[in-house]
A = this chain, B = another copy of it.
Amino acid sequence: MTAVQSTQIQLVSRPTGWPTHENFRTVTVELPELEPGQVRVVNEFVSVDPYMRGRMNDVKSYVPPFALNETMTGGAVGRVVESTSDEHPVGSLVSHQLGWRDVAQADAAQFRVMEALDGVPSSAYLGILGMTALTAYVGLQDIAHLRDGDVVFVSGAAGAVGSAVGQIARILGASRVIGSAGSAEKVELLTSKYGFDAAFDYKQGSVREQLAEAAPDGIDVYFDNVGGDHLEAALAEFRDGGRAALCGAISQYNTEGPTPGPNNMANIVTRGLSLVGFTVGNYLDRFPSFAQEMGTWLREGRVQFDETVVDGIENTVDAFLGMLRGENTGKMVVRVGTGS
């Protein structure tokens, strides 16, 4: 039997500002034979996500930073090709967190067997059926305590998380859903495909003015993927008792040095607002109820999703950088080998 090789992408230095190819290296390693209880998986798709930029910094966080000179971890889906675990038969579709590699091999407990849904590509388990949409689900319900009739604003709304937020908010009773995105095409998609009531291009004017126009009666919930002037605009437009779920601040991930916060923090007191940050990894106990509800919504055609697919594990860094620049619509994934 020929040795099996795995191509993997490692972080070798911590980016200052925008990451570059110099921060990564590609290595090819020979995998040892499986040990008892281990599984070998050929990946179909690996995930590139905004939060990964944050974990490249060496800062105190819920989740420790990525280790240098080790393979980038993160979401991936693939097929079991060799197994010593009864619960992971060859051919099973599995998801895991072993990240940027074409072949993954580890203890069986690292792999979760997924029930493939008809007509849904395996990449969906990284997006609309995975951590991405779980983030939207948890942020709206557990963090922002979405209530019937709420006006909801989502930034980065054409992204994987944002587009799920808008649609889930509507299903769960929001009276009006407003989104911001970074191009005319994305803005069009928000209203035509994802059912947003209003959308605007944050590059074409003041976020604050455009939000005020889109939400003449104010907002109740803000789902923040962007930070910066978007958060400031939301603080300006909140009604009394407004709630912000802070998921990420992609506008600031690559700035060097501290960035001033919103200039209207006083509204938090006078309007009784709440700003709550979260990391989906602390809410994995919500996955089962999420997976059941989202499966139903997908089958009923109530949720739409997009993917931007980049081919080849060797292009993972480019996919990651493109996602940070907003070149994706919906979930950005890397197709590995024969992923389908």
Contact = CB atoms under 8 A, between A and B. Distances in A.
Nearest to A232: B261
Interface in A245-280: 246-249, 252, 258-279
Contact of A247 (B240, B269, B275, B279): B269
B252 A266 contact: yes
Contacts of A252: 266
Contacts of A270: 54, 59-63, 277, 279
B240 A266 contact: no
B277 A248 contact: no
Contact of A272 (B248, B266, B279): B279
A268 B263 contact: no
A231 interface: yes
B263 A269 contact: no
Interface in A93-144: none
A107 to B, nearest CB: 27
Given A227-B266, A246-B268, A263-B261, A277 B282 contact: no
Contacts of A63: 270
Contact of A62 (B249, B261, B272, B282): B272
A272 B277 contact: yes
A272 B60 CA distance: 12
Interface string A60-103: 11110000000000000000000000000000000000000000
A165 to B, nearest CB: 15
Given A269-B279, A275-B275, 6 more contacts: A59-B270, A227-B265, A246-B269, A269-B278, A273-B276, A274-B274
B271 A261 contact: no
A66 to B, nearest CB: 13
16 contacts: A54-B266, A61-B270, A247-B269, A258-B264, A259-B263, A259-B265, A260-B263, A261-B265, A268-B275, A268-B276, A270-B277, A272-B278, A274-B275, A274-B277, A275-B276, A276-B276
B277 A268 contact: yes
A259 B264 CA distance: 7
B269 A249 contact: yes
Q: Which of A61, A267, A269 has the most CB of B within 10 A?
A: A269
A269 to B, nearest CB: 4
